[in-house]
Amino acid sequence: MVSFDTIRATGDVEVDVGIRIYALAARLFPICRSITGDGVRETLQVLGQHIDLTQYEVPTGTQVLDWTVPQEWNTRDAYIKDPSGRKVLDFADNNLHVLGYSAAVRQTMPLSELKSHIHTLPEQPDLIPYRTSYYSEQWGLCMAHNELLQLEEGEYEVLIDSEKRDGHLTYGEYVHKGQSERDVLLSAHICHPSLANDNCSGLALLACLAKALRARKTRYNYRFLFAPGTIGALTWLAGNEDKIPRIDHGLIVSCVGDGGGPNYKRSRRGNSLIDQAMQYVLNADGRQGKISDFSPYGYDERQYCSPGFNLPVGLFQRSAFGTFPEYHTSADNLDFISPEHLGSSYRMIMDAIDILEMNWTPINLFPKGEPQLGRRGLYSALGGDKSAGETAMGYLWVLNLADGNHTLLDIAQKSHMSFRDIARAAQLLLANGLLAEAPEQDQAGEASSSGQA
């Protein structure tokens, strides 16, 4: 158990944390990323200026569970020129213009043929869609539907200067060492190009969170993973199966910079400690967060929660993926996210970490009647002190439910008191010899169930 005072002293959020996260997200935003390639490496280099990232390169063709690491893909340039030679689409203006993993092309063709390779959003005619073609050989471009409608008949010059070749899949990892051999996994996908909320926001937030944890003594190791979606998580799992039994809690972080939600999707287990902690945090202070059950669709939680691993990994977002009109469009830009919402998301995740760190199961050593708190100096000598009354209620709730069957989080939920107040009361009772800590295996029962479907 890590002491409350240590957490309190080192866990306070700096007032400018949202501004710092936003600034880092803005640096990441212009980079053209995909599931492999130089954009991923450049992004990891930027993140590595803030935390001591280890970069891993996994060769093309490597078998990772039922998948194979694909070829590396990079794009240097792309455009469409109309019959007069004017560029009507330019990769330099927005990297969403190129279909992710598009094959190379250099041709002149009539508009009728060109249209079959252009993706638009007729229902959002001023926006550029984000589209990919990772595992099929085709070429394509994306543009605003209204701009497509303005194109006149004629011959168009099309260039996509891209390359697929044998290379590597790249991911980054940072581990903050704690006092135990148990792990918390925090993961964000690094494969999307210029989409601010999905997921420059998650990458920047986790980097700033990892930097903040360096100054903290923690019970758990915190493993930060920055990897391409799906294939990156599968690659990490395939190469780290020896580490899987050590993971007690996990969180996927994405779309954390807008003003929606907050939203949390439970792990496959449904009632793991991270599920309980996030539900508590998302509904504390009147946040009215939405909690949804696990489903095998979404981000990389579906890989970590697959039945062969069944890790307690949930998904935290502000607006849930696919539910906001800016999702996977050029409207998911730096104007869509804000320092205010990034700072609030950071605080919620840090609050959940505080619960993971401070939660334990107390046992009342004087269970017959109430122990005399006054002679131990645990009651304030000043009558009518409101804060003293709240502290006293914390003592009483903890003592009454400290039967070895309730964690501090359980007690906070039952008492409708803040987790911090309950944790503080429990620490004082422990220091005065009124409580003992239940054995580790009796606290949450999660570690022993890892891997069970």
Per-residue pLDDT reduced to its tens digit, 154-165: 999 999 999 999
Q: 341: part of which helix (H) or strand (E)?
A: helix 339-358
Q: 45: part of which helix (H) or strand (E)?
A: helix 38-47
Across-strand partners of 132?
Answer: 100
Least confident span in 49-53, 344-348, 372-376, 407-411 = 372-376
Mean pLDDT for the stretch of residues 131-153: 96
* Both structure tokens of 81: 């020129």
Q: How far is CA 264 from the centre of its chain?
A: 11
Q: How far is CA 433 from the centre of its chain?
A: 40
The number of beta carbons lying within 10 Å of the beta carbon of residue 204 is 30
Give the CA angle between residues 177, 178, 182 to the nearest 5°: 100
Cα–Cα nearest to 404, from 433, 371, 445: 445
Specify the CATH superfamily of domain 4-69+168-358: Zn peptidases (3.40.630.10)
Tell me which amino acid residue 69 is. V
Specify the CATH superfamily of domain 72-165: Domain of unknown function DUF2172 (3.50.30.90)
What are the tens digits of pLDDT across the range 159-216?
999 999 999 999 999 999 999 999 999 999 999 999 999 999 999 999 999 999 999 9
Q: Flag whether pLDDT at 15 surpasses 80.
A: no
* Both structure tokens of 112: 């009728």
Contact 223, 287 (CB under 8 A): no
* Both structure tokens of 90: 């330019």
Give the CA angle between residues 143, 146, 150 to the nearest 5°: 100
Across-strand partners of 291?
Answer: 264
CA distance 307 to 409: 27
234 by Cβ neighbours in 10 Å (0-12 / 13-18 / 19+) ranks as: buried
Cα–Cα nearest to 346, from 320, 377, 318: 318
3-state helix, strand, coil in the chain (%, to 5): 35, 20, 45
* Both structure tokens of 449: 């169930």
Cα–Cα nearest to 299, from 386, 176, 198, 441: 198
What are the tens digits of pLDDT across the range 315-337?
999 999 999 999 999 999 999 99
296 by Cβ neighbours in 10 Å (0-12 / 13-18 / 19+) ranks as: exposed
CA distance 115 to 17: 45
Cα–Cα nearest to 201, from 327, 61, 65: 327
Q: What is the DSSP string of 184-199?
A: EEEEEE---SS-IIII
What's the pLDDT score for residue 1? Answer: 53
Q: Where do we find the tokens 């304030």?
A: 380
* Both structure tokens of 197: 């909320």
Cis peptide before 199 (omega within 30 of 0): yes
Strands 221-227 and 183-189, how do they pair?
parallel
Mean pLDDT for the stretch of residues 298-306: 96
> Helix crossing, 4-11 with 419-431: angle to 10°?
140
119 is in an annotated binding site: no
Contact 316, 253 (CB under 8 A): yes
275 is in an annotated binding site: no
Averaged pLDDT score across all residues of the chain: 92
Strands 105-110 and 221-227, how do they pair?
unpaired
161 is in an annotated binding site: no
The band of 376, judged by pLDDT with boundaries at 50, 70 and 90, is: confident
The band of 390, judged by pLDDT with boundaries at 50, 70 and 90, is: confident
The number of beta carbons lying within 10 Å of the beta carbon of residue 170 is 25
What's the pLDDT score for residue 136? Answer: 87
Residue 384, sorted as left (phi over 0), alpha (psi -120 to 50) or beta, turns out to be: left
Q: What Rg value do the Cα atoms of the chain yield, rounded?
A: 25
Mean pLDDT for the stretch of residues 274-279: 97
Is 1.10.10.10 the CATH number for 362-437? Answer: yes
Q: Which residues fall within 8 angstroms of residue 109, CB to CB, at 6 or more apart?
A: 155, 156, 158
Q: What is the pTM of this model?
A: 0.91
Q: Flag whether pLDDT at 448 surpasses 60.
A: no
Across-strand partners of 186?
Answer: 224, 251
Q: Flag whether pLDDT at 2 surpasses 90.
A: no
Contact 279, 287 (CB under 8 A): no
Contact 142, 130 (CB under 8 A): yes
What's the pLDDT score for residue 16? Answer: 86
CA distance 106 to 248: 51
* Both structure tokens of 153: 């008949």
- Domain borders along the chain are 4-69+168-358, 72-165, 362-437
